[in-house]
Chains A and B, each alone.
Chain A
Amino acid sequence: MLRSLLEFSGINPLRLRMSWVSASEGKKFADVITEITKELQEIGPQQSYLREAI
Chain B
Amino acid sequence: MDVLILQKNSIKDFLSSLSTDYLLWAPIEKDGDTLFQPLLDCRNNSPDLAHQAKIIKHTIFPQTELLYSYDQNDQIQAPDAQDIKQSILFGVRPCDARSFSLLDPVFKGDVPDPYYLTRRNKALLIGMACTKPFSNCFCTSVGGNPCGQEGLDLLCTDLGDRYLVAVLSEKGKEIIDKTPSLFIAAPAEDIKQGEELAQNAERSMKRRIDLEGVTDTLGRIFEHPVWKKMALKCIGCGICTYTCPTCYCFDMQDEPMAKKRGRRVRVWDSCMYKEYTLHASGHNPRPTRVERLKNRIYHKFKFNVDTFGTFGCVGCGRCITLCPVNEDIIENLLAVKGTA
Indicate yes or no for A touching B, C-beta below 8 A. yes
The residues of A with any CB-CB pair to B shorter than 8 Å are 51, 53-54
Whether B221 is near chain A, meaning CB under 8 Å from some CB there, is: no
Complex CA gap A30/B69 in Å reads 40
Chain B residues closer than 8 Å to A54, beta-carbon distance: 66, 69, 257, 261, 263
* 10 A-B contact pairs sorted by A residue (CB < 8 Å): A51-B257, A51-B258, A53-B257, A53-B258, A53-B259, A54-B66, A54-B69, A54-B257, A54-B261, A54-B263
Chain A residue nearest in CB terms to B77: A54
Chain A residues closer than 8 Å to B263, beta-carbon distance: 54
Complex CA gap A53/B261 in Å reads 9
Complex CA gap A53/B260 in Å reads 11
- The 8 A-B residue pairs with the shortest CB-CB distance, nearest first, are A54-B69, A54-B263, A54-B257, A54-B261, A53-B258, A53-B257, A51-B257, A54-B66
Secondary structure type dominating chain B contacts: loop
Chain A residue nearest in CB terms to B71: A54
Chain A residues closer than 8 Å to B259, beta-carbon distance: 53
Complex CA gap A54/B77 in Å reads 11
The residues of B with any CB-CB pair to A shorter than 8 Å are 66, 69, 257-259, 261, 263
The distance from the CB of A7 to the nearest CB of chain B, in whole angstroms, is: 24
**Number of contacts between A and B (CB, 8 Å)?**
10
Complex CA gap A51/B66 in Å reads 14
Chain B residue nearest in CB terms to A50: B258
Chain B residue nearest in CB terms to A52: B257
Chain A residue nearest in CB terms to B70: A54
Complex CA gap A54/B70 in Å reads 10
* Besides the known contacts A51-B257, A54-B263, 7 further A-B residue pairs in the complex with CB atoms under 8 A apart: A51-B258, A53-B258, A53-B259, A54-B66, A54-B69, A54-B257, A54-B261
Chain A residues closer than 8 Å to B66, beta-carbon distance: 54
Complex CA gap A51/B258 in Å reads 9
Chain A residues closer than 8 Å to B257, beta-carbon distance: 51, 53-54
Chain B residue nearest in CB terms to A54: B69
Chain B residues closer than 8 Å to A53, beta-carbon distance: 257-259
Complex CA gap A6/B50 in Å reads 38
Chain A residues closer than 8 Å to B69, beta-carbon distance: 54
Complex CA gap A51/B257 in Å reads 8
Chain B residues closer than 8 Å to A51, beta-carbon distance: 257-258
Complex CA gap A51/B259 in Å reads 13
Complex CA gap A33/B56 in Å reads 50
Complex CA gap A53/B262 in Å reads 10
The distance from the CB of A52 to the nearest CB of chain B, in whole angstroms, is: 8
Chain A residue nearest in CB terms to B68: A54
Chain A residue nearest in CB terms to B262: A54
The distance from the CB of B15 to the nearest CB of chain A, in whole angstroms, is: 29
Chain A residue nearest in CB terms to B263: A54
